[in-house]
Amino acid sequence: MSDSPIEGSVLVVFLRRPALNVGKQRIAAELGAQAALGLSHCLLAATLEDTMEWQGQIVLAPAHHADVDWAHDLLDGQAKIVAQPAGNLGKRINAVDQTVRKAAPPCVIFIGTDAPSLDNDYLVQARDALARFDVVLGPADDGGVTLMGARQPWPNLNDLPWETPELGNALEAACTDQGLSVNRLDRRYDVDTHSDLARAYADLHRDPRPARQQLVQWIAVNGRLHLGFEDL
């Protein structure tokens, strides 16, 4: 591993191009497809806001090969693009991880676009943890993870219970079964439901970062109409 934690790390962002009736279906069921699309745009912008502060290598991994050009333009061509293959999330992470490690430093950290409570400090904590542990996980309140990083290839992730509350513990067990040391960061959360929107508003309404303010404004407009927030 590189002597420099910055030079020896790469941030991989799994992302999906926002589109009507794609993603955020629990939100769409309550607020409508157009509102869910707007939320997807806001969450993507918040993630890219953090990505631009990352002082290591960056890889954007769009969900489809057809979106490679779109992903390339997101950071003005400053990121490497590795499209996700078909398969469940575990298979896709294994495949992208393998591709990234062919040309990148050994410490590879994965995030998605659903956790606006993450910030650059949290990503740096993850990077620094990989100087002492084989694996770092960012636990999510729903039992999943908002971040996962490793300084060597992941074990086979194909059969893990993705999209379930058992995922976080199963992922840690898969790593420890291979003799890998695991560090857990502070718990965070994804934005998938109404209660998540209320929590994000409470956490971020004083956050000065522009994309977070855009998200807060989206929650204020859509939340007042559909969620009855009394303090917006």
Structurally, the chain folds into a number of domains equal to 1
Give CA separation, 207 vs 8, 85, 118, 122, 138, in Å: 30, 35, 12, 15, 21
Amino acid identity, residue 197? L
The answer to whether residue 28 sits within a structural domain is yes
**Domain CATH for 46:** 3.90.550.10
The residues near 195 (Cβ < 8 Å, ≥ 6 apart) are none
pTM of the predicted model as reported, rounded to 2 decimal places:
0.92
> Is 136 in contact with 126 (CB distance < 8 Å)?
yes
210 within domain boundaries: no
pLDDT of residue 194: 80
Q: Would you say residue 37 lies in a domain?
A: yes
Domain extent for 62: 9-194
Continuous segment of H or E residues that includes residue 100: helix 89-103
Rounded distance between C-alpha atoms, residue 160 and residue 58, angstroms: 26
- The DSSP element (H or E) to which 41 belongs, if any, is helix 33-51
Q: Rounded distance, CA 225 to CA 206, Å?
A: 21
So what's the pLDDT on residue 223? 65
Is 108 within 8 Å of 56 (Cβ atoms)? no
Residue 217, domain member (yes or no) = no
Whether residue 203 lies inside any domain: the answer is: no
In a domain, 72, yes or no: yes
> Is residue 221, in this structure, part of any structural domain at all?
no
pLDDT tens, N- to C-terminus, the chain (232 residues): 444 454 569 999 999 999 999 989 889 888 889 999 999 999 999 999 999 999 999 999 999 999 999 999 999 989 999 999 999 999 999 999 999 999 867 899 999 999 999 999 999 999 999 999 999 999 999 999 999 999 999 999 999 999 899 999 999 999 999 999 999 999 999 999 888 998 999 999 999 999 999 999 999 988 643 444 444 4
